[in-house]
Amino acid sequence: MTFPEAAPSFRAWTHSTPPFPSTLSLIQQSPPKPADLRPHEILVEVVTAALNPVDVQLKNLPIFRLAALKYPKGIGCDFAGRILGKGAEVKDLQIGAEVMGMTFNPLGGINYGTLSEIAVIDMTRSCVVAKPPALPWVQAAAIPLVYLTAKTLLSPPYLVLPPSANPDPTDASSHRVQPTIVVLGGSSSVGQYVVQLAKKQLHFKVIATCSKRSVDFVKELGADEVIDYTAEDVVQRVKELRPAEGYVQIIDCVGGTDFLPHIPSLVSPRTKAYPAGGSYQTIVGDKTSRLAMGGSILYLTHPTMLLRMLKGWAGIGYRYSCIMLNATRRDWLAQVGRLVHDEGLRVEIDSEWKFEEVEKAYEKLNTGKARGKVVVHVKHE
C-alpha cells in the first residue's frame, strides 16, 4: 500500500449509546497508521458529507445497540473528498484522486464515518467513483445514497415493463403505450430523483404527490401531474388518473398503508403477455414515523409486510417489495456527471453547515421539512 504523510491529528464526529443524535461528540484523534489500512480500504480526506434519515434511524434501533458491542462509533455514509492512501487491492482509484460515494459500515469504529476530516472507506461496503471535475463538492456528497436508491427502484427486478411499453414516446409511428408511474413523496430526497430519472431516462408519464409548498417544485422536476395531499384525496385522485392499462409501478417514498387496499385496482394486472404485472415498491414500509427505521429490515418485525412480499413474488396478486438498495452499482453512480451536465439532472440542496454545526444540521434534518439534502462542509475550499 501507498500512504502519504499524515496530519498529526484530525477531528471526527462520533456517537455513543442511543438515543442518537443527542450523544454526538466532536473528538480529536491521531490518524490511522499505514499498517491499519486493509488491502480493500482507502483513506479519504473528506471535503463534504451529506446527512440521511437512516443515520438517525439505524443508530436508534435496539438491535443496533446490542450488535455495536462497544462505542463510540463513526457517523455518516455520503461523502466527497480526496484519496490519501489505498490498500493493495484497490486498483482503479489513485492517490490524490477526487472521489464521491457512499459507504455503509454502521458497526465500524470511529474511523469509518464520513462526518470526519479523515475517513477509512471499506470498498467492499461502499460505492465510490471519481468525482466529475465540474461537479461541485456539495452536490457530489448529496447525490450517492438517494440517487442509487432511485436507480434501484427504477431497475429490475423491481421495475418490469410490459411488452406494450413504448421506449420512445416521440416516435409517432409507434402503437405502444407510454408507461405511467405514481411517486408518493415526489419532493422527498429520493422522490426527486425518481421523478427526474423516470422522465429523463425512461420517458414515463409521472404522477407525484407532495404538499402545497412543493407543488411547483415537483412540476419543475418533470412530473406530469402533481397531487397536493394537503388539499386532495390522494387515493381518489390517483384512481381518477389511472390509465386504461393501469400503473406499471407505484413508488412509495413516505410510508404508511393507505394505498394498499386499492393497489389491485390501480396497477397493471398480470396477463399472459405481462406476467409480472404492475407493482408497489416502497423504500419505507408500513411505518410512518420519521425516527423509526424503515426499509427491508421491517420484514423481520412486520410479518404482514413479509407475507405481502412473498405472495406477490409467488404470482399471487400484485408484486410488493420493501426494496433493498443496490449499493454496488458503481456504473450507475459514474453516470451522474453526464446526467447533471448534459441532461439537467437537478441536485437540490436544502442547507449547508459548517463542520462544527453538525448537531444543528441533524436538528434541521429531523424536522422533516428539509427539501433536498442537508450537507456539511468538512473542509473549507
> What is the predicted pLDDT for the residue at 188?
95
Residues 180 and 58 in one domain: no
Residues 272 and 168 in one domain: yes
> What is the predicted pLDDT for the residue at 232?
97
Distance CA 93, CA 169 (A): 39
Tell the residue number behind the cell numbers 453547515, with chain if given.
Answer: 353
Distance CA 285, CA 226 (A): 22
**Domain presence at residue 2:** no
Residues 252 and 306 in one domain: yes
Q: Give the pLDDT of the chain (381 residues) as one tens digit per residue.
A: 444 455 678 999 988 766 667 778 899 988 887 668 899 999 999 999 999 988 877 766 666 565 556 778 889 999 999 999 999 999 999 999 999 999 988 777 788 899 999 999 999 999 999 999 999 999 999 999 999 999 999 999 999 999 888 666 666 556 678 999 999 999 999 999 999 999 999 999 999 999 999 999 999 999 999 999 999 999 999 999 999 999 999 999 999 999 999 999 999 999 999 999 999 999 988 876 666 666 777 777 788 999 999 999 899 999 999 998 888 899 999 999 999 999 999 999 999 999 999 999 999 998 888 889 999 999 987
Distance CA 100, CA 143 (A): 9
**Residues in a beta bridge with 98:** 82
- Rg of the Cα atoms in the chain: 21
Identify which of 44, 47, 48 has the alpha carbon closest to the alpha carbon of residue 119: 44
For the chain, the first-to-last Cα distance in angstroms comes to 28
Tell the residue number behind the cell numbers 449547508, with chain if given.
Answer: 352
For residue 86, give the H/E element and its range.
Answer: strand 78-86
Peptide bond into 19 cis (omega under 30): yes
CATH code at position 355: 3.90.180.10
Identify which of 7, 4, 23, 2 has the alpha carbon closest to the alpha carbon of residue 362: 23
186 in Cβ contact with 221 (< 8 Å): yes
CATH code at position 190: 3.40.50.720
Q: For residue 200, what is its C-alpha cell? A: 429523463
> What is the predicted pLDDT for the residue at 287?
77
**Domain presence at residue 315:** yes
> What is the predicted pLDDT for the residue at 78?
98
**Domain presence at residue 337:** no
**Domain presence at residue 329:** no
Half-sphere exposure of 374 (CA within 13 A, CB side): 23
**Domain presence at residue 277:** yes
Q: For residue 132, what is its C-alpha cell? A: 466529475
Residues 193 and 245 in one domain: yes
Q: What is the DSSP string of 148-179?
A: HHHHHHTSTTT----TTB-S-TT-TT---B--
**Domain presence at residue 35:** yes
Peptide bond into 303 cis (omega under 30): no
Q: For residue 282, what is its C-alpha cell? A: 416502497
Residues 180 and 199 in one domain: yes
Distance CA 43, CA 37 (A): 8
Residues 369 and 303 in one domain: no
Alpha-carbon distance values, 326 to 19, 153, 156, 157, 314 (Å): 28, 9, 11, 11, 22
Residues 54 and 137 in one domain: yes
> What is the predicted pLDDT for the residue at 94?
94
pLDDT per residue as tens digits for the range 312-326: 989 999 999 999 888
Number of domains in the chain: 2
Residues 303 and 166 in one domain: yes
- Boundary (domain end) residue, out of 306, 322, 338: 322
46 in Cβ contact with 25 (< 8 Å): no
Distance CA 125, CA 105 (A): 7
Would you call 56 helix, strand, or coil by DSSP? helix
Q: Domain range spanning residue 281?
A: 148-322
pLDDT per residue as tens digits for the range 214-246: 999 999 999 999 999 999 999 999 999 999 999
Would you call 54 helix, strand, or coil by DSSP? helix
**Domain presence at residue 330:** no
Half-sphere exposure of 193 (CA within 13 A, CB side): 25
Alpha-carbon distance values, 124 to 102, 105, 108, 128, 242 (Å): 11, 10, 13, 10, 42
Residues 351 and 271 in one domain: no
Residues 86 and 186 in one domain: no
10 in Cβ contact with 117 (< 8 Å): yes
Q: Give the torsion sign (CA, 37, 68, 295, 323).
A: positive
Tell the residue number behind the cell numbers 458491542, with chain if given.
Answer: 69
Residues 179 and 281 in one domain: yes
Residues 199 and 238 in one domain: yes
**Domain presence at residue 199:** yes
- Boundary (domain end) residue, out of 307, 322, 337: 322
Phi, psi dihedral angles at 23 (to 5 degrees) = -105, 20
> What is the predicted pLDDT for the residue at 225?
98
Identify which of 82, 24, 85, 16 has the alpha carbon closest to the alpha carbon of residue 51: 24
